[in-house]
Amino acid sequence: MIPRSELKNELMNAGIRPSVQRLAIYEFVKNHPVHPTADVVYAALRDELGSLSLTTVYNTLKLFVDAGLVQMLTIDDTLRCFDGDTSSHAHFRCDNCGKIVDLKIKNEFLTMVDGLAGFEVKEAQLYLKGICPLCRNKK
Ligand code: ZN
Ligand code: MN
């Protein structure tokens, strides 16, 4: 768990005013590595933060994404998930149970992509889809 004081500093260093709502949303995505959607974050914080709306949650998460503090996963085109872990890693989405699993990936993986000379890569995502071991064993 990253302490709240440290998270507050991260927001301020990124030029984001750490309001109570923003800090709570940031703390949730940083300390819950489950790739939550805005709905999940909203449901988790709604009681704690009385005046919260789903739109505020989504816009706040987008603010963090634009500041490079959080990444947005579009592995499922109907579902935007947020990931507080901005380090280089790949994601596997199980077609059966829907869970999204983190996979380690070496930072140099882009050197394995041909034809990138002259391009400036600003973001790279590696998505894998299929059936997870748990679901495979159930069949
Ligand atoms: Zn599964
Ligand atoms: Mn992840």
CA of 85 to the centre of ligand 2 (A): 6
| pTM, full prediction | 0.87
Distance 72 CA to ligand 2 centre (A): 9
Question: Which sign does the torsion angle of CA 52, 55, 57, 63 carry?
Answer: negative
Q: What is the per-residue pLDDT across 60-82, written as a single tens digit (0 to 9) for each?
A: 999 999 999 999 999 888 889 99
The residue-averaged pLDDT of 8-36 equals 95
Which ligand lies nearest the alpha carbon of 104? 2
Tokens at 116, concatenated: 């990138």
Neighbours of ion ligand 1 (CB under 5 A): 94, 96-97, 132, 135
CA of 109 to the centre of ligand 2 (A): 16
Residue given tokens 């159930």 in the structure block: 138
Looking at residue 55, its pLDDT comes to 96
Name the phi and psi angles at 103, rounded to 5: -125, 140
Question: Is 38 a residue whose pLDDT tops 90?
Answer: yes
Q: What was the pLDDT predicted at 108?
A: 79
